[in-house]
Structure 1
Amino acid sequence: MNIAARHHPFHGMSAFPLTPADAAGRVDAQTLSLLLERLCEAQVDSIGLLGSTGTYAYLTREERRRAVAAAVECVGGRVPLIVGVGALRTDDAVDLARDAETSGADALLMAPVSYTPLTQNEAFEHYRAVASASALPFCVYNNPGTTHFTFGIELLERLSHLPTIRAVKMPLPAGGDIAGELAALRERTDLAIGYSGDWGMVEAMLAGADAFYSVLGGLLPYPMLAIARTASAGEAQEARRLDDLLQPLWNTFKAYGSLRVMYVLLEALGLGQAQPPRPLLPLDARARSEILAAVDSLLSDR
């Protein structure tokens, strides 16, 4: 266990890799380890295993355990390993949190997966139960794009008082006022505040976010680390210049969904072949050509 990581896993650029699996949902541990080794070599600040990009919601408990075991063996404490434990039922999420801790994870991340829409209080009780099942530091995953649930600031304040909840992963604010949102959250909570939505990394880090949780960073860590570190250092002009190089790729993320784009990039990088879990379908030839054109310069210098 990386003891330092238990206290500081929610800062800097966190890379979220795919979880390669076959059509039956069995995790390809060898390819997963290859992806994780690349992230360790790049010295990302943390790895977000089994996040949305890691298709946690499509994997059984057994396969999620296999993924965590493979990741812990590969990473070996070199980089903090944050493991997603979201599940529809609270008792299942509790089991997943305990599995992750037993396997050697450094921290936990959870979105409020639901079918019947949750109330704010139901979400609080769900988080309280899962967070109390493990001693690991815990990040609240506010991802309304997939869960259709939005955390009110009052709920985040309540959650911040729970002893193991240390961070929140936020979507980019609809109005674009990241600085204003950060100020409001810091006034009401002591959470480490991070964002996702790769095209917003520059503005989030320039505004003073503690972390950025990157989809592209899971396959191409170097350009995302460069953006994160220049922006964190206040080098706005250089950070925006680097981000401008990725605008064609961000357009494909928005058009097709970042997860589908990542499967195209996995093959293009020669790192493996995997299909998105059904009912998601691979992108057609036209979309693939658009993605490859957008990322061509990155593939030649990765």
Structure 2
Amino acid sequence: MTTNRRKAPKGILGFPVAPMDAEGKLDLEGLGKNIEFLVEEGLSSIFVACGAGELHAVSNEEYRAMVEVAVEKTKGKVPLYTGVGGNITHALEQAKISEELGAEGYLILPPYLIDPSQDGIYNYLKEIIQSTDLNAIVYQRDNCIFEAETLQKLCELPQLVGYKDGIGNMEKNVEFTHLIGDRLEWINGMPLAEVTMASYVNLGFTSYSSAISNYIPHISAKYYEALLSGNKALVNELYEDVIFPIHRIRKQKKGYAVSLIKAGMQIVGLPVTTNVRAPIAPVEESHYEELKVIIEKALEKYPAKVAAV
């Protein structure tokens, strides 16, 4: 697919998980239902096989199957982006699969293992970005940390439409948004982005990826609407009742940025197990029960218009 739409999605971005069955095999039917739920709940776009979708742990054969399901479930409804990254050879294969199957673009996750120099980061991203005509979003996290000059140079590539931040270095973000302005769509990719979105909005970040939207999307939407409309009282209530309590659990263990999502989805009755692939560990039973109490109280105080199941 060739696209002339050089725009990144805006608003609350949906990142489905990679559901696994009891044997640890990819559950494509569960993935389809996860995507349908996100689309029905009003998420602005779908990003399949990214961090929450355990890109690090799926084969490219499984990746193709995931993208096929996502194309079918999003076609004509919302933009579809995929995750590509890690091993450069695999990333280029994933980019080709995404183009072949009809995705609108991809989010580029960091390179595998190496802690690269700035010209190394640039070469890695440039090769992936230029490998297709799809839109590309770069992701600052882990071992992919930009200097301003590197990001400015990448902006010379017409396929680049967005920058997602998963580090939270506000000094860098102020500099980047000042230098680059509206050339890129600015996306908050911090774990549990609702915690920090109030700060990001002031810099011109209009989009974020929401982990809790996989199970309580109406609360994420309620929070963002309150934030943009200046309803500080409701923002503070949602922080106190839902966002901070979930965030406190998420910080208890590495990997909870992924596995806690699956736990939340199971709690609200969506068809997903809590199984994850190593090296991510599943949610501990005590944390699962804590999350269940938070979600039940949240749904009682802030009921969804329709049931999650």
User: Same fold, TM exceeding 0.5?
Assistant: yes
Alignment of 1:82-231 (within 5 A): 82-88=81-87, 90-144=88-142, 148-174=143-169, 177=170, 181-189=172-180, 190-197=183-190, 198=192, 199-231=195-227
What's the secondary structure of 2:86's corresponding residue?
Answer: coil
User: Partners of 2:178 and 2:130 in 1: how far apart?
Assistant: 25
- Consecutive unaligned residues of structure 1, counting only runs of 5 or more, are none
Q: Quickly say closer, same or farther: Cα 1:49–1:33, change in 2 above 3 A.
A: same
Match of 2:224, as an amino acid? A
- Residue 260 of structure 2 corresponds to which residue in structure 1? 261
3-state DSSP of counterpart to 2:82? strand
Following the alignment from structure 1 to structure 2, what is the Cα–Cα distance between the partners of residues 9 and 217?
19
Q: Which residue identity lines up with residue 252 of structure 1 in the other structure? A: I
Conserved 8 A contact 1:17-1:217: no
Report the AA paired with residue 212 of structure 1: Y
Tell me if structure 1 keeps the 8 A contact 2:24–2:275.
no
> In 2, Cα distance between the equivalents of 1:140 and 1:282?
28
- Any idea what SS the aligned residue of 2:46 has? strand
Query: Would the aligned equivalents of 1:202 and 1:228 in 2 still touch at CA under 8 Å?
Result: no
Unaligned runs of 5+ in 2: 305-309
Do the aligned partners of 1:252 and 1:258 also contact (CA within 8 Å) in 2?
Answer: no
Match status 1:250 vs 2:247: yes
Distance 1:159 1:49 in 2: 24
Moved more, 271-280 or 56-65: 271-280
Q: Structure 2 CA distance, aligned partners of 1:281 and 1:292?
A: 18
How many residues get paired?
A: 293
Using the size of structure 1 for normalisation, the TM-score is 0.88
Mapped partners of 1:3, 1:161: distance in 2:
17
Contact 1:36 1:71 in 2 (8 A): yes
Task: Give the distance between the partners of 1:270 and 1:237, measured in 2 at CA.
Answer: 30
Determine if contact 2:174/2:203 at 8 Å carries over to the other structure: no
Q: What corresponds to 2:294 in structure 1?
A: 294
Give the CA RMSD over aligned residues: 2.3
Distance 2:166 2:68 in 1: 29
Q: Which amino acid aligns with 1:284?
A: E
Distance (Å, rounded) in 2 between the aligned partners of 1:2 and 1:124: 23
Identical positions, percent: 22
Note the alpha carbon deviations across 1:3-30, whole angstroms, 9 max, x for none: 79x4433311112121112466642111
Paired residues of 1:143 and 1:150 also in contact (CA < 8 A): yes
